[in-house]
Amino acid sequence: MSETFAGVAVVGSANLDLVVEVSRPPRVGETLLGRAGGRFPGGKGLNQAVAAARTGASTRFCGVVGSDEAGAVLEAALTEAGVDAVLRRSASAPTGVAHVLAFDDGDNSILVAPGANGDLTPEDAVAGIAGAAVVLAQLEVPFAAVAAALVAARGAGARTILNAAPAHEAAVALLPEVDVLVVNETECTELGGVERLLSAGAGAVVLTEGAAGVTLHRPGRPGAHVAAFRVDAVDTTGAGDAFCGALAAGLAQGQDIEHALVRACAAGAIVARHRGATTPTLSVAALEALVAGR
């Protein structure tokens, strides 16, 4: 992929998700038997990159994995999804792992051992975004790398999206470099609310509200709500990441943000219908069919 690829560059985490289906979380000291389990590619960055590629954008992913079998699995998953995987292999840290408890109602609890994700440097990030039209980052990798990516992207004229997850107070200082901030209700509250985030410099705040949909907030304009698509959720682990990736893809393809948000909601709904944070059933055709059927 050349420097003029003008697509989506994702800077973020890559983990191997170890998923167990279970009715409830175990109590302290309790061993609980689950019904099923599996290994799936994951990490917010990887999930978002896969979603961007599967919803039509030329996509590059920049991250760090270990020199181990799990790292090879993640690289293969990115390549299979059509993502240009710019992965550095750490010689000392293992690939990140996420332990996911998937509950009967579609919700989940996740515990992450970041591993090699913590080795991502500002230099890695800046090199990884070269030529992008849209740069998408999260906060599961070192803050310095995220900051460097956003500043460099803005300097190069790219559009920037920050998914402030997990919420980190230091991210507020980055908001003048952020065109679109994506947060859920918990993250928004932890960071001081929509008005604070807009006042701090975010060009727009997209507040995701689960089954209620999303609301777009912009300075001096009323909020614009986009309803969620009704689906029978199986696993919501990667729904928010699919939303972010599809949003980035839409903006890179020249869609206005309102239209891109509708497609992003559809992407999240498609992923939520399947086990695992990514699914090959997410495609441009599936997205268009769901949107057309609303």
pLDDT digits (tens, 9 = 90+) for 174-207: 999 999 999 999 999 999 999 999 999 999 999 9
Q: How many domains does the chain have?
A: 1
Establish how many alpha carbons lie within 13 A of residue 258's alpha carbon, considering only the half-sphere containing its beta carbon: 4
Q: Do the Cβ atoms of 136 and 63 come closer than 8 Å?
A: no
Cα–Cα distance measured from residue 140 to residue 13, given in angstroms and rounded to the nearest whole number? 6
List the catalytic residue out of 17, 84, 124, 241: 241
Residue 276 forms part of a structural domain:
yes
Q: Do the Cβ atoms of 133 and 252 come closer than 8 Å?
A: yes
H/E stretch holding 225 = strand 221-226
Q: Is 241 a catalytic residue?
A: yes
Domain encompassing residue 195: 8-13+43-94+116-292
Cα–Cα distance measured from residue 166 to residue 215, given in angstroms and rounded to the nearest whole number? 19
Q: In what order do the strands lie in the sheet with 36-42?
A: 36-42, 15-21, 96-102, 108-113
Residue 120 forms part of a structural domain:
yes
What's the token pair of residue 89?
């292999």
Cα–Cα distance measured from residue 227 to residue 246, given in angstroms and rounded to the nearest whole number? 16
CATH number for the domain including 123? 3.40.1190.20
Residue 192 forms part of a structural domain:
yes
Residue 224 forms part of a structural domain:
yes
Cα end-to-end distance, the chain, whole Å: 36
Residue 25 forms part of a structural domain:
no
Residue 34 forms part of a structural domain:
no
Q: What is the pTM of this model?
A: 0.93
Residue 33 forms part of a structural domain:
no
pLDDT digits (tens, 9 = 90+) for 71-127: 999 999 999 999 999 999 999 999 999 998 988 877 788 899 999 999 999 999 999
